[in-house]
Structure 1
Amino acid sequence: MTLPIAERIRETVTANDVVLFMKGTHLFPQCGFSARAVSILEHFGVEFASFDVLQDAELRQGIKDYSSWPTIPQLYIKGEFVGGSDIMMEMAQSGELEQLLRDKGLAAV
């Protein structure tokens, strides 16, 4: 029996320290926003799990419902929703993202 999508998402974001739901893969992003999100995480040397919402329509809608956030990509750190690529960029520029990663024991830089 397959778990409901919200349960699958909850398990995914709690089982992985950093999760990026994106369009495409981390090696081949399928939109500029996803590419920017990957670039930001790579800049900080953070290992992350990524999931391509283009390969799973249920996941694509389910992640939007789960977070109450209408756009992809979506970043989760230690089970908590952080935001999309614009928020990631703002947080990276202000130093907030690096501090969050340090606080969670995840920053490599």
Structure 2
Amino acid sequence: MATSDRIRALVTDNEIVVFMKGVPAAPQCGFSAGVVKVLDAIGRPYVGVNVLDDPFLREGIKEYSDWPTLPQVYVRGEFIGGCDIVRDMYAAGELQALLAGQSA
């Protein structure tokens, strides 16, 4: 399966997906840890994908989203952003509204 197909399947088959360095229980960079902290605070289940385990996935996700950095957060198949965007959305209540199915 092509890397882009694997990514598409992950983001469409799961409500919330985080492409990150490490896993939610043990993030391997501060930005990944920041996203995990926000998502854990919200309390919704999410899938963490460790890009360090697969160099093709690590580069492929950047091409898929046209976003150069990690982590990357997807909600219902849509790219939301990285750590700073997720933190800002959370602080403004926008992330909680998005996850509740409401428009902010």
TM-score range (shorter-chain normalised) is over 0.9
Q: Quick one: which amino acid aligns to residue 74 of structure 1?
A: Q
Name stretches of at least 5 consecutive residues in structure 2 with no aligned partner: none
Are residues 1:82 and 2:80 paired? yes
% identity of equivalent residues: 49
Q: Secondary structure at the match of 1:103?
A: coil
Matches within 5 A, 1:1-109: 3-103=1-101
Q: What is the CA–CA distance in structure 1 between the aligned matches of 2:96 and 2:14, rounded to whole Å?
A: 18
TM superposition shift of 1:103: 1.0
Distance in 2 of aligned mates of 1:63 and 1:51: 11
Q: Helix, strand or coil for the counterpart of 2:9?
A: helix
- 1:43-100 C-alpha deviation (Å, 9 max, x unpaired): 0001001110011000000000000000000000000000001000010111111110
Q: Number of aligned residue pairs: give it.
A: 102
Spell out structure 1 runs of 4+ moving beyond 2 A: none
Q: Which structure shows the higher strand fraction?
A: 2
TM-score (norm 1): 0.92
- Please tell me the root mean square deviation across aligned C-alpha atoms, in Å: 0.8
